[in-house]
Amino acid sequence: MEHGFPPGTNWGSLRTESLIAHVVMLLLVLGLTGCMYLTRRRLAAAADIWGWAAVIVVTPFIAMIVWPGRSYYSEESPGDFVFGYVLLAWLIGLGGMIRSHISISRHRKSSALRYSIACLTALGTVVFLCQLPSLGHPREASRRSTCKSNLRNLGMALWNYYDIHKEVPESTSGSPPVSWRVNVSRFVDFNSIYREYDRTKTWDSTTNEPLAQRFYHAYMCPSRSGPETDVKRRVYTDYTMLAGRETLSAVKPRGPNGIADGASNTLAIVEATGLNIVWTEPRDANVDREPLGINFKGTGKYDSPGLMSAWHVGGAQAVFADGSVRFLSQDIDPQVLKALTTANGGESLPDSY
């Protein structure tokens, strides 16, 4: 299988305040290094080292207290943002202490610090570059957890729909066709969508177009780093039902009695980011049309023709008919993935996949 989705870091999405915060921290660290050399004649070694080290350590914590809602540090753990810089500052302090000790023991001035400055500057640059991919975003673990919560809520919405209509919604229904995402919107606290959507008009009509241009994060994965809208500013979704023969959307009856394979072995909703589907568009991942695989490389940077695709490295998340959300590896056997798409195919599955 040829993988290649998701693409690399989208550098254009970096937030300005995030970049500024990291640059300031790097300059402070480098300033510490420079002042250890420039103020050598004016300050004692201990005051020089520990004074500047304290500045580097205290400054970011003051910033976090003053601006607790800023996005330049991790939303899950703000201390992670400064850990690399604090560690670097103490390495500089330790290096300065060792240098001072050697200098004093040899009874000479430590005026030759060029080599140390060059090494520490290189180290600071490495730390800065290593943190660039996460600028302006919470940690991937936090984003993936939010994505999992979104999927779980959509899975619950399917069965709340079943409680009222006595069947799970089809991926598309009616004429003109309406997406399941619109039909279950009232079960994910979006009653306004359900009321405003005109079912007598197509999804891309002038009447329904404004809804397609609205952001509803319940239908979006927070890990998305590619375009969020198409050329008409219609918002993409990352979640689709499975459509096609023998899927939960197609079997009769569309409910527990139609899932002969077992609800825990039947896929209902999957991540299919690479298909670039507008959230109100009556289109989904079709098992009869899409290649059986996860995170396949597409023709474009943000395209993936596989049945499933996600911004999570190594695989994608999916909701099973029992409501559970699981992460499926992109190395999954295509035959196993095919078996998971059917509600009453009768296939045997391995103990783990």
Domain boundary among 134, 158, 187: 134
Look at residue 136 in the predicted model and tell me its pLDDT: 45
Interval 8-19: pLDDT, tens: 644 444 455 556
Angle at 171 (CA atoms; ends 169, 173), nearest 5 degrees:
75
Look at residue 317 in the predicted model and tell me its pLDDT: 96
34 vs 168: CA distance, rounded Å: 67
Cβ pair 301, 7 in contact under 8 A: yes
Mind giving me the DSSP string for 229-268?
B-TT-PBEESEEEEESTTSTTTSSSSSGGG-TT-GGG-EE
Residues 202 and 235 both lie in one domain: yes
How many domains would you assign to the chain?
2
Residue bearing the bigger pLDDT, 86 or 142: 142
Token representation of residue 151: 């999927």
Which residues share a beta bridge with 325?
319
Residues 227 and 124 both lie in one domain: no
Asked if residue 311 belongs to a domain, the reply is yes
Token representation of residue 27: 């300059």
What is the pLDDT of the chain when averaged over all its residues? 77
Asked if residue 244 belongs to a domain, the reply is yes
> Which residues, including other chains, have CB under 8 Å from residue 182's CB and lie 6 or more apart?
193, 194, 197, 203, 280
Residues 320 and 203 both lie in one domain: yes
For the residues 185-213, what does the mean pLDDT come to? 91
Interval 116-134: pLDDT, tens: 554 555 555 555 555 544 4
Domain that holds residue 126: 11-134
Look at residue 142 in the predicted model and tell me its pLDDT: 81
